[in-house]
């Protein structure tokens, strides 16, 4: 005999029992976003209104990133380089980027860039010297430690050209040793995870930094003036990586 419902007498069930997955409509099989975000850091371009040389600067760019875990061992900086060739007044695309960088709560991100006019040294020696210099700055980290390294205070979100002039002269002696060679732009910023979230809460965070140049040798152009643009982008990551055809969730 079939079981009965004491409230509604009669057999329970009016058709075959469904044994497959229960859902209505198509199953979304792609990732479900909502995990902790990653970040992309990009050095976009620079604009020259006055070159350091009389006519054209021969520019080299170094862009450096370091992610320092809280209470972790010293992190190793990563560096990207680009030769810009001979450049005059105008806007010049750089497009160096560290994409999809994982930053954990409690981590601190240090980013810096250096741009130098150097027309009398080999490309390999310029990159080697710039990488070493940028790495020292990034490893020093926050403004207090980096300020102690160079012997001068480091402003937050602003040019370092004035503050770095003496220190850079010593660090870059081997590649900035003739005529109108010299640094034309430099900046370093240190950001916590919470600061990154705050700055990207409403979309990309963008900055354009003004870099008034230092005095160049007699016979060169007037003091250089560079404007460097960079931005930070927040990248959504999956909370659920996949939903298979049967409706099973795969967690990240």
Q: Under CATH, what is the fold of the domain 37-235?
A: Immunoglobulin-like (2.60.40)
In whole angstroms, give the CA distance from residue 143 to residue 9. 80
Question: Is 240 in contact with 249 (CB distance < 8 Å)?
Answer: yes
- Name which residue leads in pLDDT, 247 or 53: 53
Using DSSP, state whether 167 is helix, strand or coil. helix
DSSP secondary-structure letter at 6? S
Per-residue pLDDT of 193-241, as tens digits, reads 999 999 999 999 999 999 998 887 777 878 899 999 999 999 988 765 5
Identify which of 82-91, 126-135, 173-182 has the greatest average pLDDT: 82-91
Residue 26 has pLDDT above 70, yes or no: no
Phi/psi at 12 (5° precision): -90, 135
Q: What percent of the chain has pLDDT over 70?
A: 71
CA-to-CA dists, residue 7 to 12, 177, 239, angstroms? 11, 98, 45
Q: Is the pLDDT of residue 183 over 80?
A: yes
197: left (phi over 0), alpha (psi -120 to 50) or beta: alpha
| More confident call, 151 vs 77 | 77
pLDDT range class, residue 7, cuts 50, 70, 90: low
Q: What is the CA radius of gyration of the chain?
A: 28
Determine the pLDDT at residue 182: 85
Per-residue pLDDT tens over the stretch 108-122:
999 999 999 988 778
Question: What mean pLDDT comes out for the span 92-120?
Answer: 94
């Amino acid at each position: 005999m079939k079981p009965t419902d004491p409230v509604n007498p009669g057999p329970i069930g009016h058709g075959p029992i469904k044994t497959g997955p229960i859902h209505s409509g198509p199953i979304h099989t792609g990732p479900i976003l909502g995990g902790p975000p990653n970040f992309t850091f990009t050095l976009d371009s620079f604009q020259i209104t006055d070159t350091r040389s009389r006519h054209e600067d021969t520019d080299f760019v170094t862009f450096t990133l370091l992610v320092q875990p809280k209470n972790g061992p010293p992190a190793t900086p990563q560096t990207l380089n680009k030769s810009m060739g001979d450049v005059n007044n105008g806007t010049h695309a750089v497009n160096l980027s560290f994409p999809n960088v994982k930053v954990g709560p409690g981590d601190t991100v240090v980013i810096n860039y250096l741009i130098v006019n150097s027309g009398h040294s080999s490309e390999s020696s310029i990159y080697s010297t710039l990488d070493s210099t940028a790495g020292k700055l990034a490893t020093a980290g926050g403004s207090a430690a980096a300020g102690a390294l160079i012997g001068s205070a480091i402003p937050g979100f602003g040019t370092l050209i004035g503050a770095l002039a003496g220190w850079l002269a010593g660090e870059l002696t081997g590649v900035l040793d003739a005529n109108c060679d010299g640094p034309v732009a430099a900046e370093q910023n240190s950001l916590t995870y919470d600061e990154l979230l705050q700055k990207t809460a409403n979309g990309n965070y963008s900055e354009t930094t003004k870099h008034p140049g230092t005095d160049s040798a007699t016979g060169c152009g007037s003091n250089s003036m560079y404007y460097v643009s960079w931005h930070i982008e927040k990248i959504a990551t999956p909370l659920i990586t996949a939903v298979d055809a049967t409706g099973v969730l795969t967690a990240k």
